[in-house]
Amino acid sequence: MTERTIKVEVKRQSGPDAKAFTETFEIPYRPNMNITSLLGEIALNPRAINGAESTPITYDSNCLEEICGSCAMLINGKAMMACSALVDKLLGAVEHGQKPDLSKTITLAPLSKFPVVRDLAVDRSVLFENLKAVKAWVPIDGTYDLGAAPRQHPQIQEERYPLSNCISCTICMEVCPQFNDVTGFVGAATIAQTKLFNMDPAGSVLKEERLRALAGDGGIQECGFAQNCVQACPKQLPLTEAISDIGRDVFIQQVKDFFTH
Ligand code: SF4
Ligand code: FES
């Protein structure tokens, strides 16, 4: 019996300034693989489909359970997490027990809006710079015991909890038409974290600074309400709601500043 195989086409690049090229691999099919295990399979025997010796593919990965946010990439052209993207499903087996279509080829490419480090690994530090710009943290002095944190109303907790699920994967930025060099838009994740920390009883001390940081170029007014972010977010953050809430707060802050400065 001939071995059942999967074809995988990978966009590769040996370094930030190197020319990109495509390499196709053929690996043994096993049921219930995800893209991370498929990449591991290639690493076991990195040989292109024409028999030429190759190298293992570089990609970021850590938790393997959609928590660390590091493994985002373009899978069949769509921004997804490699650890939760199931090979059988990508090959058309939508229902459990359905046979995958092994004549299909899976394509893998790095996220397109971030500088490539190597192969599928990209530099996503822009998100962390944006989070720093809005001070996405609770400013506490951790050098001595501050006692219990301020109490939060359960309704506030419920509103904040989904926002705290952000895994910094940058998929919302990748799919946003406004996230580009021209607008310098911070992207939905940063706005959602602004709302999360502004609603924190201790974090709200920096509320005005956060809102002012989102008032200028690249801030909230760059959002074009395409709503791609909310559809693509793997953790289902209520991004459009956060954007409209923060949009309103930024406007109120601008009016206040106009009359007081
Ligand atoms: S908001 Fe969603 S898509 Fe954006 S970085 Fe956070 S988890 Fe990823
Ligand atoms: S490996 Fe952590 S989210 Fe995929």
Give per-residue pLDDT as tens, 24-70: 999 999 999 999 999 999 999 999 998 899 999 999 999 999 999 99
The answer to pTM > 0.85 is yes
pLDDT of residue 2: 62
**Cα gap 171→239, rounded to integer Å:** 12
pLDDT of residue 42: 96
Q: Is residue 146 part of a domain?
A: no
Regarding whether 165 and 79 lie in a shared domain, the answer is no
Q: Residue 9's beta-bridge partner residues?
A: 24, 107
Query: Tell me, what CATH number does 172's domain have?
Result: 1.10.1060.10
Q: Which residue do the tokens 């989070």 mark? A: 131
Domain range for residue 185? 124-140+151-260
Residue pLDDT, tens place only, 196-213: 999 999 899 999 999 999
Regarding whether 132 and 241 lie in a shared domain, the answer is yes
Q: Is residue 157 helix, strand or coil? A: helix
| Ligand 2 near 190 CB (within 6 A) | no
- Ligand 2 nearest atom to the CA of residue 67, by list position: 3
Regarding whether 197 and 256 lie in a shared domain, the answer is yes
Q: Report the mean per-residue pLDDT for the chain.
A: 95
- Token pair of 226, please? 């395409």
- Ligand 2 nearest atom to the CA of residue 71, by list position: 4
Regarding whether 131 and 75 lie in a shared domain, the answer is no
Domain count, the chain: 2
Q: Which of 39, 75, 81 to mutate to test the pocket of ligand 2 (most atoms within 8 A of CB)?
A: 81
The answer, yes or no, to whether residue 189 has pLDDT greater than 60, is yes
- Token pair of 224, please? 């074009």
| Ligand 1 near 122 CB (within 6 A) | no
Q: How far is the CA of 169 from the centre of ligand 1 (A)?
A: 5
Q: Is residue 145 part of a domain?
A: no
Regarding whether 135 and 71 lie in a shared domain, the answer is no
pLDDT of residue 100: 93
Q: Which residue do the tokens 């009883």 mark? A: 201
Contact 3, 28 (CB under 8 A): yes
Q: How far is the CA of 234 from the centre of ligand 1 (A)?
A: 7
Regarding whether 209 and 131 lie in a shared domain, the answer is yes
As a whole-number percent, the residues of the chain with pLDDT over 70 amount to: 99
Residue pLDDT, tens place only, 80-122: 999 999 999 999 998 877 899 999 999 999 999 999 999 999 9
Altogether, the residues listed in the chain come to a count of: 261
Regarding whether 212 and 190 lie in a shared domain, the answer is yes
| Ligand 1 near 168 CB (within 6 A) | yes
Regarding whether 10 and 115 lie in a shared domain, the answer is yes
The mean pLDDT value for 252-260 works out to 94
Q: How far is the CA of 166 from the centre of ligand 1 (A)?
A: 5
The answer, yes or no, to whether residue 261 has pLDDT greater than 80, is no
Contact 102, 4 (CB under 8 A): yes
CB atoms within 10 A of CB 133: 18
Q: Is residue 133 part of a domain?
A: yes
Regarding whether 129 and 256 lie in a shared domain, the answer is yes
- Token pair of 183, please? 């607008």
Q: Residue 183's beta-bridge partner residues?
A: none
Contact 113, 229 (CB under 8 A): no
pLDDT of residue 212: 97
- Ligand 2 nearest atom to the CA of residue 63, by list position: 2
**Cα gap 80→83, rounded to integer Å:** 9
CB pairs under 8 A, 24+ apart, for 59-64? 59/119, 59/120, 59/121, 60/120, 60/121, 60/122, 61/36, 64/36
**Cα gap 71→66, rounded to integer Å:** 8
- Ligand 2 nearest atom to the CA of residue 62, by list position: 1
Query: Tell me, what CATH number does 30's domain have?
Result: 3.10.20.30
- Ligand 2 nearest atom to the CA of residue 84, by list position: 4
